[in-house]
Structure 1
Amino acid sequence: MPLTPTDDLVRKQLAVAADRLRQSMNQLEFDEPVSYIYNPLDYAWDLHRQYIELASGEAEVLFLGMNPGPWGMAQTGVPFGEIATVRDWLGISGDVCEVDPEHPKRPIEGLDCERSEVSGRRLWGLMRERYPTPQDFFRKHFVVNYCPLVFMEESGRNRTPDKLSVDERQALQVHCDQHLQEVIRVLPWKHLVGVGAFAETCLKRVAASSGSEIAIGRILHPSPASPAANKDWSGTATSQLVKMGIWQ
């Protein structure tokens, strides 16, 4: 079925914004304890572009995550991109480029990676349960991450953006806020939903700076590091979305 002009325009604008973010991230520098930085918008750009092609001009709900996990978007270029979901449900295929330098404990294997990210499995698993096809989900929803970079310490430990130094966090925020503003402008969203408290804070800050009055809410982050998320995360998230009037 041919794409509608609205879909074409939305996808083009999202791709341009993502490419601008990709390039701006490569200009930033980070000091210890950050020892390795992965930018999946670089080495997994082809897969990310395929993901953007799923976006719909009718979307009303924007979900915002924080940054890639080592076994999710870091491998696939897709927000919360758990391997099986990206490959088997979203239908995204292809290879990723090499990363240099690459942490020996965090190899990038793309869709061949045999690890599974719990956060992505939970989030996309809920969407797969509720929507028969990806098209059904993307008709009204889209998912992006606030920051596209993966930060790792020498040990291989993941370091989230909120744990960066103040100066580094502020420099990162300039570009990530700009990207988020661009994404918000792409469509007349009815709901902005932070996946976790950090993302909700980002949405409120960016929406306030742009004068946007879109409804902003939050769902529990699906990370296994959260005790609450390990107790029926899908049920909790569903209840929160129903309460916000997004789902029935």
Structure 2
Amino acid sequence: MNHCPLLLLGETGKNITPDKISGNAVKKLLKACDDHLKEVVTTMGITRVIGVGKYAEKRALLALKGLDVEIGTCWHPSPASPLANRNDGADWRANVRKILLAEHS
């Protein structure tokens, strides 16, 4: 699931991610997204969460603190990510396979 499944657009139509917004409005938005993630994980009995990118990992660590849930990360497949785009994406695919096939601790 997406931590914050909303599309936020600037005046020019450019995507704005929650980490690029400041103030009370974004704090409330992130709390609602964190609470929703925690509810889904708890309700479904999920024991492992993979954050796609460091930002998603950070939000999962905050939202799921105190729960018995393993949290990992893989690179975000963004066009802006040099890691994800190296070797025509082969390095990204290898990173995802490594994370998804890793044994749970």
Provide the TM-score with structure 1 as the length reference. 0.38
Q: Which residue of 2 aligns with 1:160?
A: 17
**Structure number with larger C-alpha Rg:** 1
Q: Which residue of 2 aligns with 1:191?
A: 48
Q: Which residue of 2 aligns with 1:234?
A: 93
Alignment gaps of 5+ in structure 1: 1-143
Secondary structure of residue in 1 paired with 2:41: helix
Q: 1:216 aligns with which of 71, 84, 89?
A: 71
Q: 2:38 aligns with which of 167, 181, 197?
A: 181
Q: 2:64 aligns with which of 203, 207, 216?
A: 207
- Equivalent residues of 2:50, 2:73 under 8 A apart: yes
Q: CA RMSD in A?
A: 1.4
Q: Does 1:245 align with 2:100?
A: no
- Counterpart CA distance in 2 for 1:148 and 1:214 is 21
Measured after TM superposition, the shift of residue 168 of structure 1 is 2.2
Measured after TM superposition, the shift of residue 202 of structure 1 is 1.1
Q: Deviations over 1:139-175 (max 9, x none)?
A: xxxxx01112111111111111100113222010121
Measured after TM superposition, the shift of residue 185 of structure 1 is 1.0
Where do 4+ consecutive residues of structure 1 move more than 4 Å?
A: none
Secondary structure of residue in 2 paired with 1:145: coil
**Equivalent residues in 2 for 1:117-128, closer than 5 Å:** none
- Equivalent residues of 2:77, 2:84 under 8 A apart: yes
- Counterpart CA distance in 2 for 1:193 and 1:148 is 16
- Counterpart CA distance in 2 for 1:180 and 1:207 is 8
**Equivalent residues in 2 for 1:138-153, closer than 5 Å:** 144-153=1-10
Secondary structure of residue in 2 paired with 1:194: strand
Between the aligned residues of both structures, percent identity stands at: 38
- Equivalent residues of 2:47, 2:68 under 8 A apart: no
- Counterpart CA distance in 2 for 1:187 and 1:152 is 31
**Equivalent residues in 2 for 1:43-58, closer than 5 Å:** none
